[in-house]
Amino acid sequence: MIAATLIALVVGLAFIAGCALYYGRQISSRRIPMQWDSDGQPAWFAPRLVGLWFSFGVTAALSVFLLVLALHAPQKLTALIVATISVIGANMWVQVYHLRRVIRWQAEAPAN
């Protein structure tokens, strides 16, 4: 079961990295929005590199943490594996949504 989770982690991280590379070519801004206010305007910015790769780092760190917990608490293995796969899947979706939103923002405000 751990092997399947590791495969999911590798596939998820490859997907997230692929998105960063693919969408990153379309983002020319040096600083990109990391979050939006309720009015649709950027709430805060991060350097381009951080903005592109943040989801990758968060996914890797949380997944490693959850897998280490699974190894130390085998009685909770199933729940921790479900949590790990949920983190991976959610962050895959977040990466695509975020980078596509940044591209849309950049097109709407080319002076950025």
Is residue 108 very low, low, confident or very high in pLDDT (cuts 50, 70, 90)? Answer: confident
Q: How crowded is residue 75: how many other Cβ atoms within 10 Å of its Cβ? A: 6
pLDDT tens by residue, 37-64:
998 889 999 999 999 999 999 999 988 8
Task: Note the Cα 18 to chain centre separation in Å.
Answer: 11
pTM of the complete model: 0.84
- Average pLDDT over the chain, rounded to whole? 88
CA distances from residue 31 to 13, 16, 35, 92, 103 in whole angstroms, order as listed: 23, 19, 12, 22, 12
Give me the number of domains the chain comprises. Answer: 1
SS3 of residue 78 by DSSP = helix
CA count, 13 A, side-chain hemisphere, 10: 6
Q: Domain residues for 99?
A: 2-108
- CB 76: neighbour CB atoms within 10 A? 12
